[in-house]
Structure 1
């Protein structure tokens, strides 16, 4: 379906070359100041034609301004609590660029699968499979991000961590051992605690490591010069997240994040925290010991000495930063001849036209941030509903084991212990 979320619900609409794309957001809290200026910055970050690293330069470049218009749900600049409709008009759509798809299902595109599912498909571009559909997601996330910042101080920052074979040092360090690898990972965790979107946007590659930027730029420009494409990864951190978000079983927070990220076009992988590196570690290395955050001994929430869990344990946020990495494949649309066959099974050569990115990863950064914001906004509203309804019940005394307090000493004067049974 085209709807995401349970309480904060976002429905997107539109195809690559229709008249407009956009979304309807249902469940936005009333009373929040909101204008197009709150939504536009992220849309401008994902728009095509930002540099020679993305959609090919003029005159073949797709020139979309991606200006958002809020249609409903707001009066005098304040949210009403009713559905908010937002539209972005397609100004530079060229369906005639894709007439070859009348004969050929393009390699690694959705042409064939859409026909199998619906018995019909959009005649131009990628239809709903196009990255243009993500405009609605990014617009909706502009609302969510403002609420998250105002109500909880939550910050979400994503950045390019690899392009092709060029990658930031922490990726290789994850596979290594010893003091050098530990130092690199420590620097990575420190960066996650401080990185900002302005740091990321200092270079159009959107990697915060200047040396890596040049290697990544080289990968992209080489692919572009060869009329080819290249993939990469985006790393994202969510800071300021309270503990307690996510559900115990099927809607674990990492499962919801994985669902959100893998719904983005061109994604092929997701890992959170230590990810696949964690499979090479022993339990005593991977466990996150609990520590008292405040050295002065003030009554504050516990924290973890390490964060291999990526801020999530048992499917529920533990109050540490949540961080994850998303893999993007090379764009399937390339400007070179490809041997394939027609819908009738006759071998032939497809010469692709149209406008497309040699690498989608830099433009994917705000989309990853958007899906993270929508996931967290929905999880927060689900948890807030649970807390509000529970808070209206008469207070009852809780046993120490129920409240999380330490058990009282037993008759022998030693502290009781709770043993956790495992299957």
Structure 2
């Protein structure tokens, strides 16, 4: 299987399955001498972990991890940093009746068509359980970015038809961790939580949107052709389970504007080049311009429902799939730290690439 690695200089490789012994990540290109704060890794893993609230899957994973290499006396050594996260609460019997059928909107059929074999327990390698390894790696990347005053945060912008219409610069990032939905607007968060509970009670699922904000990115990151910064961000985000759409800056709303409205005029403020507006989303010509980078990400409803669904088995026979097990009614609350982690990996990798040329 190819495609398990991401990045060029700060490069990660993840491994493991949802119901295997565990999952993990090997980080290559981590600088030596970093005083690694393990509590920050624990914090981000706790934000992603299942069982954290009543509106997410009730699988109970502590996400306690082991660092198997690359760390000595609290500092990174410059050798590959290996983080392993054991699986502690897998219930494979929940999937025993699904071994021979194709679950609607899952990777069961496509995975079998490609490899001829699949681990049906929780989706195996296709499971979102893999993203815990990304979050661990992203927590390391964020600690390095913090040294350069770069900040990454995300929040749930919409759940179904409920949407926070205020722009990110009018919101308080500290509100995000004060509610289980991880919305940045308290009243909207309450309505979103009620909607998720309603959907869960009906045995259904619901999607929505996450807004990502990256502050303090210096100008000059990215390449002007195939390795554009927004292209790498898009790849990172679209590699997350259930992510169906990516837009940055004005995005699709920009299609309704005239050029005279959309252009970002340059000004000089305190000796630094800025723009009076930021419809470009902090990126022009594939390269960061020093303004905030902001993106909107679309996430589909979870494919596993606690309702009966029609499908076929491997023999092509029609069967009824009965919902069971522990599943998220909405991925958005747990996807926020995954989005932040993937953004950190992209920005740090591009920062190192840029620094290597100076």
| Shorter-normalised TM range | over 0.9
Structure 2: which 5+ runs fail to align?
none
Which consecutive aligned stretches of 4+ in structure 1 deviate over 4 angstroms post-superposition?
A: none
Check whether the contact 1:339–1:348 (CA below 8 A) recurs between aligned residues. yes
> Is the contact made by 2:175 and 2:185 (CA closer than 8 Å) also made in structure 1?
no
User: Which residue number in structure 2 is paired with residue 347 of structure 1?
Assistant: 318
Partner of 2:236: 260
Residue equivalent to 2:268: 292
Q: Deviation of residue 35 (structure 1)?
A: 4.2
Measured against aligned partners, the alpha-carbon deviations of 1:131-155 in whole angstroms (never above 9, x if no partner) come to: 10001100011110000001x1100
Q: Does 1:322 align with 2:285?
A: no
2:211 alignment partner, one of 218, 227, 235: 235
Q: CA deviation at 1:352?
A: 2.3
Q: CA deviation at 1:222?
A: 1.3
Q: Distance in 2 between matches of 1:219 and 1:199?
A: 19
Q: CA deviation at 1:121?
A: 0.5
Structure-to-structure mapping, 1:155-194, within 5 angstroms: 155-170=151-166, 185=167, 188-191=168-171
2:339 is equivalent to residue 368 of structure 1: yes
TM-score, length-scaled by structure 1: 0.83
- Number of aligned residue pairs: give it: 356
> Which of 47, 51, 54 matches 1:52?
54
Q: Distance in 2 between matches of 1:249 and 1:190?
A: 34
Contact 2:27-2:81 at 8 Å conserved across structures: yes
Q: Which residue of 1 aligns with 2:33?
A: 31
For residue 147 of structure 1, the aligned residue among 132, 144, 149 is 144
Structure 1, residues 43-82: CA drift from partner, whole Å, max 9, x if none?
0100001111111xxxxx3111001211110111111111
Where 2:178 maps in the other structure, the secondary structure is coil
69, 72, 76: which one pairs with 1:72?
Answer: 69
1:189 offset after TM fit, Å? 2.9
- Shift of the 264–144 alpha-carbon distance from structure 1 to 2, 3 Å rule, reads same
TM-superposed deviation, 1:38: 3.1
Q: Deviations over 1:84-120 (max 9, x none)?
A: 0001110011111101222211000001011011100
Q: In the aligned structure 2, how far is the partner of 1:164 from the partner of 1:14?
A: 32
SS at match of 1:386: coil
Assess if the C-alpha contact under 8 Å between 1:36 and 1:68 holds in 2.
Answer: no
Cα separation, 1, equivalents of 2:195 and 2:269: 42
